[in-house]
Chains A and B, each alone.
Chain A
Amino acid sequence: MSPKLRLIRYLLFFILLVVADRFIGAAISKLAQAQIRDNRVGLLIDKKIDADIYIIGSSRALNNYNPAIITQYTGKSCYNLGVSGSNVNFHETMLDLVLQNSSKPGMIIYNIDDYGTLFTMEGVIYRKDVLYPYVDNDLVNKKVSHELDRNIIATKVSDSYRQNFNFINALKYLAYGREATDYTTTNFDSLGANLLVQRPGDKIPVFGRRKFELPTHQLDSVRVSAFRRIQQKCLSNNIQLVLVLPPLYTKPSAFFRQQVKKQGLPGAHWMDFANQMQEASYFYNTDHMNKVGADIFSHKVGGKLKEIFR
């Protein structure tokens, strides 16, 4: 075979590869987005959410705040972007996405997790899985690539490579359809919250008061830095930042509150409910409130926010 013919063949193969790469990447992206239950990041990127107030945090943000009630008090639209099991670095990414895609965020309510915000805790992670389907977005791609130590240039060169974390989810969508709803983590209302109502036929949950002991008193410097950056980003963008310590069905840690307040920057508003609403009837389990508790708590938060806006 002549070198010229060989080169043409290689060129054609390269074109075939590029076309296949683009087509497969696009198909995976579509299927993975259709598969995932939590599509709030997608709504944000597509600018289908554009609220005045965003609630950011982990499962306590997701389960404890009713955005509709906050809107009642403040007259401002509110959306819940809490994600179960997420850590403070992930919350920073959510804030970055809000800053990038939302036109008028006036306030961020950041829910602080007892210990988890400043200390390493098992099960509290950077929830990459929530971001994977939206990896076509540059910011998401940058964050995910950083978290996974992936080469960002390679993710830009190949669509299939960028999307490969979504491959199995795309196949799952083809086989089973959309991901099933999880009652406590992905049963979202139209404002992004997941309020936990005792379902008919459900057993009344029985739980004891949580006894929590911190395994170490050593602050996690990565989390502390992220927490401080969240504050800096809000303040430098003229966004009101409200740092909330929510009620827990456990004895609040004075040590943690002292530490977290030490990391606070001037200009942020603090709301400490850690010693309030200590009745079991407000809780779904030791760490999360039920809808009754969440509504009452949201009224309390809303009332205080009204004062801030005034």
Chain B
Amino acid sequence: MIFNSLHYLIFLPLVTLLYYLLPVRFRWILLLAASYYFYMVWEPVYILLIILATGVDYFCGIRMGALATRKERKPYMLFSVIMGLGILAIFKYYNFFAGSVNDLFTSMNMEYMLPAVSLLLPLGISFYTFQTLSYTIDVYKGKAAPEKHLGLFALYVMYFPQLVAGPIERAKQLLTQFHFNYNFSWINCTSGLRLIMLGLFKKIVIADQISPMVGHVFNNPENATSPSIYIAGMLFVVQVYCDFSGYSDIARGSSRLLGIELMENFRLPFFAKSLSSFWGQWHISLMNWFRDYIMFPLIKDGVKWPSVFLLVFLISGFWHGANWTFVAWGIYNGIMVVYSKATLKWRSAFLDKIGLKNFTSLRHVIQSICVIHIFGFSGVFFRAATLSDSWILIENLFSDFTPAIRSIINDTGNMRQELLYLGKDAISFYLIIGFIVLLEVFEWSLRNQSIDESVNMIPTPLRYIMYAGVVISIVLMSSVAESPFIYFQF
């Protein structure tokens, strides 16, 4: 089931209503059943994988809880981690590994071929695997107590708002909340609905509209021209942001309706002043996971920070997908973050020197634009189908800029529609740009306050007109077919 479907529009209010009608002791059963149903709408058989992961991690957690030392707990931790990563490796990476090995054999004129297997990638596997890994490691380290209630633990693994695309929650944050009782709260309800509305706006009104424009360029790299690649690259950044943060908003909003708080996964990344702070504001739950389970232990073991960052981003690339494009994306971002951190003082001094010391807002804007462009460039790896497509796009990005710009200005042979509007008509293009500007203006107002604070400052009649405007925009722009969220593939 996807959030931007009519199915979910019926499912969520029904679950919420039943949740508050049921006696507290039965609520977890409802949430667990709803979560299983939510997942099984996609592919029923893959629920078995999650049940297996739940069983193994629950058992290992309980066993570790009964043992006093880390040494005694270690075999259970290893068993759980190997099991989780093993399933992930088979379903997500086996064919990639086999294909790469076969390519290597072919290049060496060897005839041996590893067979490919036809497996559907289980929805959300990377997310729930990392979530259960964090539980196992935390219990192993003694940072979290093992959960004794199998039902609540299963709910922690399966909780439908964040099951398929995060946020990747820690047991301490999410699992403990399942033990509390919640009464219906109008404040939570309003706040949750606001988040859901914002998420749907980002997904349907912006991300889904941009998607064909980006595809127009990235699916035809040979014919793509410099300005088109630039515009598509920038739009792709907005698409991924609106798609993924839209999902996270809906997840948080849905959960808030039930009284359960999920962590913020995006914190205004487009207003980040440096690349390293950008990565602290983008997909926060994953970056925190890397920080706590890879970065800190490695730095503690004395590994130099540049190597740690490069490794983390390489793993992040692999986490995103079994394709060399994601590996390249990870390496590129790793290098850029290392560069960003290493030159922080020098760049700051440079900006002071060119007279931006006293123009803090202008300085902020310039820094944010630089960050967006550096991150936007990585889209040629992230979005392209193959690495060779990425290279073609990079080549075309830096060639024949002037003739293409001339074609856009003169609109010869309807080239403006092709190169600037990326296949859309002028009205649709400017409408989408208008919606993006509107969103960013709203987000700018969130720098120093929460969404609820920001919205509550608006006079009541105006606020309700704004809500109606958002709802009508979502309805009007939902003419394209319901499209799955980008991060579902991971």
Contact = CB atoms under 8 A, between A and B. Distances in A.
B431 A171 contact: yes
A6 B464 CA distance: 13
A154 interface: yes
B479 A164 contact: yes
A167 B474 CA distance: 12
Contact of B464 (A16, A148, A161, A165): A16
A168 B427 contact: yes
A172 B476 contact: no
B431 A16 contact: no
Contact of B476 (A13, A160, A175): A160
Contacts of A181: none
Nearest to A159: B475
Contact of A164 (B427, B467, B478): B478
A197 B427 CA distance: 33
A160 B460 CA distance: 24
Given A21-B472, A164-B477, A172 B425 contact: yes
Given A16-B464, A16-B465, A17-B468, A148 B481 contact: yes
B427 A175 contact: yes
Interface string A84-125: 000000000000000000000000000000000000000000
Contact of A21 (B475, B478, B481): B475
A308 interface: no
Contacts of B186: 1, 3, 6
B472 A167 contact: no
Contact of A13 (B428, B431, B468, B481): B468
B101 interface: no
Contact of B427 (A6, A12, A21, A172): A172
A149 interface: yes
Interface in A1-50: 1, 3, 6, 9, 12-13, 16-17, 20-21, 24
Contacts of A1: 186
Contacts of B6: 151, 154
A145 interface: no
Nearest to B463: A13
Contacts of A9: 460, 464
A184 interface: no
A12 B464 contact: yes
Given A13-B464, A164-B478, A20 B472 contact: yes
B467 A161 contact: no
A109 B88 CA distance: 60
A149 B427 contact: no
Nearest to A171: B427
Contacts of B427: 168, 171-172, 175
Interface in A117-166: 148-149, 151, 154, 158, 160-161, 164-165
Nearest to B471: A17
Contact of B468 (A16, A148, A154): A16
B425 A168 contact: yes
Contacts of B431: 168, 171
Contacts of B472: 17, 20-21, 24, 160
Contact of A165 (B467, B471, B479): B479
A182 to B, nearest CB: 14
Contact of A160 (B425, B428, B467, B475): B475
B456 to A, nearest CB: 12
Contacts of A167: 476-477, 479
A6 B428 CA distance: 38
Contacts of B468: 13, 16-17, 20
B484 to A, nearest CB: 15
A164 B464 contact: no
Contacts of B460: 9
B476 A164 contact: yes
Given A6-B186, A171-B431, A158 B479 contact: no
Given A24-B476, A164-B476, A168-B425, A149 B481 contact: yes
Contacts of A149: 481
A148 B471 CA distance: 22
Contacts of A3: 186
Contacts of A165: 479
Interface string B1-34: 0000010000000000000000000000000000
A161 B475 contact: yes
Contacts of A12: 464
Contacts of A154: 6
Contacts of A175: 427
Contacts of A172: 425, 427
A24 B471 CA distance: 12
Contacts of B465: 16
B185 to A, nearest CB: 11
Interface string B446-487: 000000000000001000110110011001111101000000
A35 to B, nearest CB: 11
A161 B481 contact: no
A184 to B, nearest CB: 17
B9 to A, nearest CB: 9
Contacts of B464: 9, 12-13, 16
A149, A165, A168: residue with the most chain B Cβ atoms closer than 10 Å: A168
Given A17-B468, A17-B471, A161 B478 contact: yes
Nearest to B187: A1
Contacts of B481: 148-149
Interface in B186-220: 186
A101 to B, nearest CB: 26
Interface of B: 6, 186, 425, 427-428, 431, 460, 464-465, 467-468, 471-472, 475-479, 481
11 contacts: A6-B186, A13-B464, A13-B468, A20-B468, A154-B6, A161-B475, A161-B478, A164-B478, A168-B427, A172-B425, A175-B427
Pairs A-B, 3 closest by C-beta atoms:
A164-B479, A160-B475, A165-B479
Given A13-B464, A171-B431, 13 more contacts: A3-B186, A9-B460, A13-B468, A16-B464, A21-B475, A24-B476, A148-B481, A151-B6, A158-B475, A164-B477, A168-B431, A172-B425, A175-B427
Interface of A: 1, 3, 6, 9, 12-13, 16-17, 20-21, 24, 148-149, 151, 154, 158, 160-161, 164-165, 167-168, 171-172, 175
